[in-house]
């Protein structure tokens, strides 16, 4: 049996699948100079229906075994009783706790607002509004809709702990929080865990804010690196806003983490934060940055140096390509999807060759 790291590859739909293939081109062992194995699962809507979602459960079990997963965007059907979202199954099966999405400045791209320091949204991966029980009843001639949500102290603790660990590691401030004044029991539990974590990490700046104030103040926090812990639904909305603040929702990766007893990542699944983009399907114009960076993020979590070096090379090559003017349409350029990936691969090969020549001095 091979001792090389194995990445569980989860194939998807439409443009999501196209961009996954671009990321895999960059992760080719001949490009990154380090051996990798790939274990593929077809999570397309057609195959999820044919297998009644069994393929999703199989992919989740494989991630638990092999630690790393790379997932393409997939279609979530809207019809009740259909196969639903594979993400919900994957998060539950691997015991996912945290989703991290980081908006960062894209060199050469003027953001719509004046932000330049990175902003990371650390959100709950499970519970809250997603998976809530919903129903409707008639009352006095009107129709009333209800929803019962839940969060657990364990997940609140995990998100809080990881947010402060991450902020400590990158030198950022923990900023924001839930609307605990309106919801002291439900959202208040999350606030309690954030306050407790701040005492365990006294060296990490902590500025709690209500969620509505968090949205408003983001526009005036351009000079500070921020880590924003959030409930599942709040974080979903916040991360889309934050990524677009830096110029494109396709400019950064999304990481799902399952944490061990010491609140360290034990399973890492990376993907793009955007959907399947059906209007771009088959046109070779979609931006592959997020999927390429998702692959780089997986390599960054591997403890051995060749993979960490390859991760750095991919991150730098991707951002340098944009800086040099190699840009897809969403960033104001005319480069095709495959041309962008070709340029990233060229730069990765060059970096790794130069760094190997320079030895430790090049790293």
pLDDT (mean) for 169-181: 96
pLDDT (mean) for 224-231: 96
pLDDT (mean) for 127-138: 91
Q: What is the pLDDT of residue 45?
A: 97
How does pLDDT run across 324-362, given as a tens digit for each residue?
999 999 999 999 999 999 999 999 999 999 999 987 645
Report percent pLDDT > 70 for the chain: 98
How does pLDDT run across 11-51, given as a tens digit for each residue?
999 999 999 999 999 999 999 999 999 999 999 999 999 99
pTM: 0.92
| pLDDT category of residue 2 using cuts at 50, 70 and 90 | low
| pLDDT category of residue 299 using cuts at 50, 70 and 90 | very high
User: Does the pLDDT value for residue 363 go beyond 60?
Assistant: no
Q: What is the pLDDT of residue 360?
A: 62
User: In angstroms, how far is CA 152 from the centroid of its own chain?
Assistant: 22
What stretches of 81-237 adopt beta strand conformation (E)?
A: 98-103, 119-124, 128-139, 142-150, 173-176, 206-208, 226-230
pLDDT (mean) for 243-260: 91
Residue 149 half-sphere exposure, CB side, CA atoms within 13 Å? 13
Angstrom distance (rounded) from CA 102 to CA 100:
7
Maximum distance among all alpha carbons in the chain? 79
């Amino acid at each position: 049996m091979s001792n090389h790291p194995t990445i569980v590859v989860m194939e998807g739909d439409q443009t999501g699948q196209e961009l996954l293939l671009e990321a895999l081109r960059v992760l080719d062992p001949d490009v990154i100079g380090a051996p990798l194995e790939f274990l593929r699962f077809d999570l397309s809507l057609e195959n999820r229906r044919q297998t009644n979602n069994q393929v999703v459960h199989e992919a989740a079990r494989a991630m638990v075994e092999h630690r790393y997963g790379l997932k393409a965007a997939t279609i979530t059907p809207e019809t009740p009783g259909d196969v639903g979202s594979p993400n919900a199954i994957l998060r539950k099966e691997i015991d996912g706790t945290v989703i991290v999405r980081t908006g960062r400045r894209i060199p050469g791209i003027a953001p719509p607002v004046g932000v330049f320091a990175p902003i990371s949204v650390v959100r709950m991966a499970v519970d809250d509004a997603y998976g809530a029980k919903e129903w409707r009843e008639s009352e006095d001639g009107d129709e009333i809709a209800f929803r019962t949500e839940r969060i657990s102290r364990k997940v609140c603790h995990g998100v809080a702990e990881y947010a402060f660990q991450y902020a400590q590691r990158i030198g950022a401030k923990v900023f924001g929080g839930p609307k605990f004044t309106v919801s002291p029991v439900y959202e208040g539990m999350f606030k309690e865990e954030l306050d407790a974590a701040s005492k365990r990490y006294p060296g990490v700046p902590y500025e709690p804010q209500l969620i509505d104030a968090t949205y408003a103040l983001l526009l005036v926090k351009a000079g500070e690196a921020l880590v924003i812990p959030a409930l599942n639904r709040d974080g979903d909305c916040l991360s889309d806003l934050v990524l677009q603040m830096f110029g494109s929702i396709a400019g950064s990766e999304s990481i799902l983490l399952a944490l061990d007893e010491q609140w360290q990542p034990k399973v890492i699944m990376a993907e793009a934060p955007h959907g399947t983009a059906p209007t771009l399907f088959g046109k070779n114009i979609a931006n592959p940055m997020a999927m390429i960076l998702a692959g780089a993020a997986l390599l960054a979590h591997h403890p051995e140096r060749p993979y960490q070096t390859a991760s750095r090379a991919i991150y730098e090559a991707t951002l340098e390509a944009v800086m040099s003017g190699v840009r897809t349409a969403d960033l104001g350029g005319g480069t095709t999807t495959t041309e962008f990936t070709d340029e990233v691969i060229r730069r990765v090969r060059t970096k790794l060759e130069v760094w190997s020549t320079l030895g430790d001095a090049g790293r």
